């Protein structure tokens, strides 16, 4: 599902409900009750270890417009998150416009319910709002309602978190995939696996929709992201993942119009080449390279990263009937690291 394609209906729903009743930095903070269940070897004298990384679009749009029943499913997702050392989420909205269409809905509690049964010691702080990330609401996104929906949970320290919105967007209530209703973009945080072992971790949510305008913006967005990685993570090990909204099946191998002409595949390959990243699916010879949920990585002179598995969690995040709890399946990649 496109990230905000259904939000156009929210105006009507929220209206009825109410009638009836440049970039910014933050530091990853410790949660109230740190009870780490990490299996990572961070801090061992051997200078090597292993950790599991999960990327998951949790489909956290308001239940009034969602087909995924987030009010029911998000609390079911939460207990499973402890099984992973690092969790990157998309559509986990922790900011909404005060007095806006989503304000006052039960939706406002989804984020806390997602984290209620997860006990990672470190988590990214709440989105600081549009002004703090350089968005002029009137000029850039006059109908913006939601934050970027991005978050990180980790058993190892994270710090220096930066949130960056895409330079442009397409689609509001009645056009495109309604991407301009949120501050979509990417965040970067520094993950400390052990003393002196730091990886720049990127979580992203790409432009959705299949129009020519969306396709043109996807090109620009991944150029923006590549430029940021090259400037701010120069010489650093990097792990990047999220909901790319890029259908990278071989041309003609997918019914999605962006995949059929191969443009999404070209955007992704150009991005990997520009940043020196490797798709973890390619590195592990996985079976489903065309999926839009992706994780990529690169080592540096001091840290060698090696993905040992790439697996969509097909039977973990499901309900009692075996149905997925989101319209995305969570992607787990296990990494080994070694100080070079």
Weakest mean pLDDT among 75-89, 109-123, 233-247, 257-271: 257-271
Q: What is the largest CA-CA distance in the chain?
A: 62
Question: Which run of H or E residues covers position 322?
Answer: none
What is the mean predicted confidence (pLDDT) over 310-328? Answer: 98
- Which two tokens mark 99? 């007095």
Chain segment 259-300, per-residue pLDDT in tens: 557 899 999 999 999 999 999 999 999 999 999 999 999 999
Angle CA 263–264–270, to nearest 5: 85
Query: Structural domains in the chain?
Result: 7-339 (3.60.10.10)
Q: What mean pLDDT is reported for the chain?
A: 87
Q: In what order do the strands lie in the sheet with 86-90?
A: 29-30, 122-123, 151-154, 86-90, 48-57, 331-339, 303-312
What is the mean predicted confidence (pLDDT) over 237-260? Answer: 77
Chain segment 164-194, per-residue pLDDT in tens: 999 999 988 776 788 999 999 999 999 999 9
- Which two tokens mark 127? 């989105």
- Confidence label for 251 from pLDDT (cuts 50, 70 and 90): low
Place of tokens 């495109």: 176
Chain segment 24-74, per-residue pLDDT in tens: 445 555 444 333 333 444 444 469 999 999 999 999 999 998 999 999 999
Angle CA 50–162–215, to nearest 5: 95
Contact 222, 212 (CB under 8 A): no
Contact 286, 310 (CB under 8 A): yes
- Is residue 134 packed enough to be buried (19+ CB in 10 Å), middle (13-18) or exposed (0-12)? middle
Q: What does the DSSP 8-state code read for residue 137?
A: H
Which phi and psi (to 5°) does residue 331 adopt? -110, 125
| DSSP bridge partners of 241 | 203, 295
- What's the pLDDT at 257? 55
Place of tokens 């949970």: 153
Which phi and psi (to 5°) does residue 127 adopt? -55, 135
Instruction: Calculate the dihedral angle through the C-alpha atoms of 147, 152, 158, 162, rounding to the nearest 10 degrees.
Output: -30
% of the chain residues with pLDDT over 90: 76
- Confidence label for 5 from pLDDT (cuts 50, 70 and 90): very low
- Which two tokens mark 92? 């986990």
DSSP string, 29-52: EE-SS--------TT-TTSEEEEE
- Is residue 301 packed enough to be buried (19+ CB in 10 Å), middle (13-18) or exposed (0-12)? exposed
pTM here is: 0.88
Indicate whether 6 pLDDT > 50.
no
| DSSP bridge partners of 53 | 86, 333
What is the Cα–Cα distance from 240 to 247, expressed in whole angstroms?
A: 17
Tell me the chain's radius of gyration from C-alpha atoms.
19
Chain segment 135-165, per-residue pLDDT in tens: 988 888 889 999 999 999 999 999 999 999 9
What is the Cα–Cα distance from 186 to 145, expressed in whole angstroms?
A: 17
């Amino acid at each position: 599902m496109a990230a905000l394609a259904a939000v156009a209906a929210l105006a009507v729903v929220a209206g009825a409900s109410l009638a009836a009743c440049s970039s910014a930095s933050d530091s990853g903070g410790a949660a109230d009750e740190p009870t780490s269940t990490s299996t990572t070897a961070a801090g061992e004298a051997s200078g090597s270890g292993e950790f599991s990384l999960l990327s998951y679009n949790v489909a956290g749009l308001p239940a009034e417009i969602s087909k995924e029943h987030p009010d029911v499913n998000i609390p079911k997702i939460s207990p499973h998150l402890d099984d992973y050392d690092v969790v990157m989420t998309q559509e986990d909205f922790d900011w909404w416009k005060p007095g806006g269409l989503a304000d006052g809905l039960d939706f406002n509690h989804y984020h806390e319910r997602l984290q209620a049964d997860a006990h990672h010691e470190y988590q990214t702080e709440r989105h600081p709002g549009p002004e703090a990330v350089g968005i002029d609401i009137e000029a850039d996104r006059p109908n913006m309602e939601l934050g970027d929906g991005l978050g990180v949970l980790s058993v190892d320290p994270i710090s220096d978190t930066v949130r960056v919105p895409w330079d442009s967007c397409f689609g509001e209530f009645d056009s495109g995939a309604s991407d301009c209703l949120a501050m979509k973009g990417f965040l970067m945080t520094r993950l400390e696996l052990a003393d002196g072992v730091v990886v720049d971790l990127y979580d992203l949510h790409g432009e959705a929709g299949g129009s020519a305008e969306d396709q043109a913006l996807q090109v620009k967005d991944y150029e923006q992201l590549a430029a940021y990685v090259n400037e701010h993570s120069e010489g650093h090990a990097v792990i990047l993942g999220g909901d790319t909204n890029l259908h990278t099946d071989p041309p003609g191998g997918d019914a999605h119009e962006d995949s059929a002409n191969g443009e999404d595949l070209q955007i992704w390959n150009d991005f990997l080449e520009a940043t020196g990243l490797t798709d973890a699916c390619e590195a592990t010879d996985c079976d489903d390279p065309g999926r839009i949920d992706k994780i990529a990585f690169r080592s540096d002179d001091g840290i060698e990263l090696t993905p040992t598995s790439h697996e969509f969690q097909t039977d973990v995040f499901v309900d009692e009937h075996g149905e997925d709890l989101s319209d995305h399946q969570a992607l787990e990649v296990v990494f080994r690291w070694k100080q070079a």
